[in-house]
Amino acid sequence: MQFSKSTGNALHALIHLAHSDRGQHVGIKELSSSLGVSDSYLSKIMSKLRQDGIVRASTGASGGYELARPADRISFLDVIQVIEGRQQLYECLNANAHHHPLAEAAEWSEEEESGHPESKDCLVKKVMNGAELQMQSYLRAHTIQWVLDHASPGSIRGGNGE
C-alpha cells in the first residue's frame, strides 16, 4: 500500500502553480519539465485536477493552468482524493462476510435490526476506518499554502515584486 507517484506529482505541480499564482497561466511544458516527467503523462493528472475543480485550464496561446481557488483552501486531502479516489482504505468483501461473531460491537440488536450489522457495528471496520480518519484529518489541516508559508524565505523568488 503506497500513494501513487501521480499523487506526488499532482502535489508538486500545484505547489508550482501556487508559486506563480498571480493570475498567470502556466503551461504543461513548464510544469512537466519542472517536475522531470513527460508532458503527456502530467497532462492526465492535470486533467483530473481540473475535473475536480482544483485547477482551471485555458486552451490557446498563452493558455495553461491556474489554481481554481486560493492555495489555503486546497488541502493535501483534496489532492490525494482526486488522484487516489475516494474509496475507503479498508473494505471488506461481502464474500468475506462470513465474519467472526466477535467482530460485532457489544451494544447490538437493541437499537437496529433492519440493516446488515456488518456495516455499522463491525469492530474491525471501526478500527481501520478510525485509522483512516486520523490520517485524513491531518491531511485536511495541511494546505498547499502551508507549504509556501513554511518554506525557506530565500527560496521564494517571485513574491509579488514583478
Q: Which residues bind ligand SF4 (CB under 6 A)?
A: 12, 92, 96-97, 99-100, 103, 118, 122, 124-125
CB atoms within 10 A of CB 58: 11
44 touches 5 (CB < 8 A): no
Give the nearest distance from C-beta 106 to a copy of itself in angstroms.
Answer: 5
Q: Which residue in 40, 86, 114, 157 binds a copy of itself (CB under 8 A)? A: 157
Q: Are strands 55-58 and 64-67 parallel, antiparallel or unpaired?
A: antiparallel
- The C-alpha atoms of residue 65 and residue 113 are separated, in whole angstroms, by 51
C-alpha cell of residue 51: 475535473
List all residues 6 or more positions away from 98 whose beta carbon is below 8 Å from its beta carbon.
none
Residue 102 has, within 13 A of its CA and on its CB side, a CA count of: 2
Taking CB under 8 A as the binding criterion, the range among 21-29, 44-52, 56-64, 120-128 that sits at the site for a copy of itself is: 120-128
Euclidean distance between CA atoms 90 and 99, whole angstroms: 15
* Closest distance of CB 60 from a copy of itself, Å: 27
Tell me which of 8, 30, 68, 118 binds a copy of itself, using CB under 8 A. Answer: 8
Judged by beta carbon distances under 5 to 8 A according to partner kind, the member of ligand SF4, DNA, a copy of itself, none in contact with residue 118 is ligand SF4
What, of a copy of itself, ligand SF4, DNA, none, does residue 60 touch, CB below 5 to 8 Å by kind?
A: DNA
Binds 72: which of DNA, a copy of itself, ligand SF4, none (CB < 5-8 Å by kind)? none
| Cα separation values, 137 from 76, 105, 145, Å | 10, 25, 17
Residues that bind DNA (CB under 7 A): 1, 4-6, 27-29, 37-41, 43-44, 46-47, 50-51, 57-65, 84
